[in-house]
Structure 1
Amino acid sequence: MSTPPAPTVQETAALTRRITLLSVATAAVLVTLKAVVWTMSGSVALLASAADSALDLVASLATFFAVRYAVVPPDAEHRFGHGKAEAFASLLQAGLVFASAALIGREAVANLIDPRPLQQGGWAIAVMLASTVLTLGLVAAQTRVLRRTGSVAVSGDRAHYLSDLGSNLVALIGIAASAWLGASGFDAAAALIVAALLLWGAIGIFREASGQLLDRELSPEARRQIIELITRDPLVIGVHQLRTRASGPYVHMQMHVDLDPQLSLEAAHEVLVAAEKRVLEAFPSADIIMHADPRGKAEPHGGAFAETARTNA
Structure 2
Amino acid sequence: MSSERTHDSAERARLLRLATRASVAVALVLIALKGGVWLASGSVSLLAGLIDSLMDAGASIINLFAVGYALKPADKEHRFGHGKAEALAGLAQAAFISGSALLVLLQGVDRLLHPQPLDAAWSGIAVMLFSIIATLGLLALQRHVIKRTGSTAIGADALHYRSDLLLNLSIIAALLLAQFGVQRADALFGLAIALFIAFGAVQIGRQAVQILMDRELPDGVRAHTLQLARSIPGVLDIHDLRTRESGQHWFMQLHLELPAELSLAQAHEIGEQVRLAIITHYPQAEVLVHKDPA
Normalised by the size of structure 1, how large is the TM-score?
A: 0.90
State the Cα distance separating 1:67 from its structure 2 match: 1.2
Do the aligned residues in 2 keep the contact of 1:166 with 1:197 (CA within 8 Å)? no
| 2:289 equivalent to 1:290 | yes
Report the identity percentage: 43
| CA deviation profile, 1:169-189 (whole Å, cap 9, x unmatched) | 1111111111x2133211111
| 2:113 equivalent to 1:122 | no
For 2:251, the equivalent position in structure 1 comes to: 252
For 1:158, the equivalent position in structure 2 comes to: 158
Q: Which amino acid aligns with 2:256?
A: V
For 1:307, the equivalent position in structure 2 comes to: none
| CA deviation profile, 1:176-234 (whole Å, cap 9, x unmatched) | 111x2133211111111110110111111111111111111111110011111111112
Q: CA RMSD in A?
A: 1.2
State the Cα distance separating 1:271 from its structure 2 match: 0.9
Determine the C-alpha separation between the residues in 2 that align with 1:74 and 1:88: 17
For 1:229, the equivalent position in structure 2 comes to: 228
1:195-210 matches, cutoff 5 A: 195-210=194-209
Q: Which consecutive segments of 4 or more residues in structure 1 shift more than 3 A?
A: none
1:14-93 matches, cutoff 5 A: 14-93=14-93
For 1:102, the equivalent position in structure 2 comes to: 102
SS at match of 1:138: helix
State the Cα distance separating 1:153 from its structure 2 match: 0.5
For 2:216, the equivalent position in structure 1 comes to: 217
SS at match of 2:252: strand
| 2:278 equivalent to 1:279 | yes
Do the aligned residues in 2 keep the contact of 1:27 with 1:57 (CA within 8 Å)? yes
Do the aligned residues in 2 keep the contact of 1:70 with 1:84 (CA within 8 Å)? yes
Determine the C-alpha separation between the residues in 2 that align with 1:177 and 1:183: 5
Determine the C-alpha separation between the residues in 2 that align with 1:23 and 1:50: 15
State the Cα distance separating 1:53 from its structure 2 match: 0.3
| CA deviation profile, 1:76-107 (whole Å, cap 9, x unmatched) | 11111000000000010011111000000000
Determine the C-alpha separation between the residues in 1 that align with 2:176 and 2:93: 30
State the Cα distance separating 1:265 from its structure 2 match: 0.5
For 1:261, the equivalent position in structure 2 comes to: 260
Unaligned runs of 5+ in 1: 296-313
Q: Which amino acid aligns with 1:77?
A: E
Determine the C-alpha separation between the residues in 2 that align with 1:269 and 1:145: 36
Work out the number of aligned pairs and report it.
289
Which structure's residues are more often helix, by fraction?
Answer: 2
Determine the C-alpha separation between the residues in 1 that align with 2:145 and 2:184: 40
State the Cα distance separating 1:10 from its structure 2 match: 2.1
Determine the C-alpha separation between the residues in 2 that align with 1:292 and 1:167: 54
Do the aligned residues in 2 keep the contact of 1:9 with 1:71 (CA within 8 Å)? no
Do the aligned residues in 2 keep the contact of 1:9 with 1:250 (CA within 8 Å)? no
Determine the C-alpha separation between the residues in 2 that align with 1:166 and 1:122: 19
Normalised by the size of structure 2, how large is the TM-score?
A: 0.96
